[in-house]
Amino acid sequence: MSLTVGKKSPGEKIFDAANIIFLTVFSITAVYPFLNVLSISFSTSQAANAYGLKLWPQEISFEGYRAVFANKLIWTGYYNTIFRTVLGTLLNVLFSVMCAYPLSKKYLPHRNLFTAFIVFTMFFGGGLIPNYLLIKELGLLDSRWALILPGLIAAFTMIIVRNYFMSLPEELEESARIDGANEIRILFSIVLPISVPIIATISLWYAVAHWNAWFDSLLYISDPHKAVLGNVLRKIVIEGSSQFQQFDQGFNQNGQPAVTPDIIKSATIMVATIPIILVYPFVQKYFVKGVMVGSLKG
């Protein structure tokens, strides 16, 4: 008698091989543009202008990054983006938790009705012009608060947190009430310490959203000193050569410009992308647990 337990059938082997090939090709198509931009950002002007694929720099040069970091617009954009990301993420997480916690309690009157109102906003919105008029009437135009307050609570994220809180054992809160703790004390002393996975997950969601956001800044901010890094990046990459006049490009030994527009664009993209990429490894371990538990119980 032959044992076949654990062995894969020919169909399963073919499926696995096709899966590996597809995912490999998909990974290459996703990683290559990033490597190409990274390579150009570290290249000399001659190497950057050379024809062909660029997976690694032929001649390493840091002139592109020197020119980028010498531009005051980059540092201003960094400050505004970091300010928005840090403060916005803290407020987003705080208010999402404060909204999700009471909605997770069965004894909250009209809980399902409140939840339905919030879910309604996921499918229907006022539109661009009403939102702009609202921001204008609130006196938030050209204010950094216009980038934070309108999206203070993301409905989908709040629902995920609510479902996570509903999965926690009720006995923990009941024992705390017996000891005299109120709801605020229970939330911050008991619930949040055991909710690290979901808190880390939504923190990264909010942080990435704030870091990458630029359209609301384009709409509501007219002062260039309050523009976020995404807007600065957009001006450099899309609006073109007029922005390069603000860079100290320098010249090499042959009297040619040390950096080209492509090098400056690539270095700017890397400067805007690398910081948020570095955050992922520290919170990735919380993703599966936080999202799965928060999405199963409704």
Q: Please, which pLDDT band fits residue 147 given cuts at 50, 70 and 90?
A: very high
Per-residue pLDDT, averaged over 49-68, amounts to: 75
Q: Which class does domain 63-296 fall in? A: mainly alpha
Domain layout of the chain by residue ranges: 63-296
CA distance 252 to 255: 5
The confidence score (pLDDT) of residue 42 equals 84
Which residues have a Cβ under 8 Å from the Cβ of 46 and sit 6 or more positions away?
A: 59, 256
The confidence score (pLDDT) of residue 245 equals 47
The confidence score (pLDDT) of residue 290 equals 57
The confidence score (pLDDT) of residue 31 equals 86
Neighbours of 43 (CB within 10 A): 27
Lowest mean pLDDT among 70-79, 123-132, 230-239: 230-239
Here the contacts of 88-91 (C-beta below 8 Å, separation 24 or greater) are: 88/147, 88/148, 88/151, 88/206, 88/210, 89/203, 89/206, 89/207, 89/210, 91/148, 91/152
CA distance 126 to 5: 58
Decide: 100 and 92 in contact? Cβ < 8 Å: no
> Looking at the predicted structure, is the pLDDT value of residue 139 above 70?
yes
Per-residue model confidence as pLDDT tens digits over 192-207: 888 888 898 899 889 9
Percent of all residues in the chain with a pLDDT value above 70, rounded to a whole number: 83
CA angle (170, 176, 177) in 5-degree steps: 90
The confidence score (pLDDT) of residue 88 equals 95
Longest Cα–Cα distance in the chain: 81
Which residues on neighbouring strands pair with residue 60, listed in sequence order?
43
> Looking at the predicted structure, is the pLDDT value of residue 129 above 80?
yes
Considering 41-50, 147-156, 282-291, the range whose residues carry the highest mean pLDDT is 147-156
Q: Please, which pLDDT band fits residue 242 given cuts at 50, 70 and 90?
A: very low
Lowest mean pLDDT among 51-55, 181-185, 292-296: 292-296
Q: Collapsing DSSP states into helix, strand and coil, what is residue 105?
A: coil
Q: Global pTM? A: 0.78
Closest CA to 236 of 70, 83, 68: 68
More confident of the two residues 246 and 82: 82
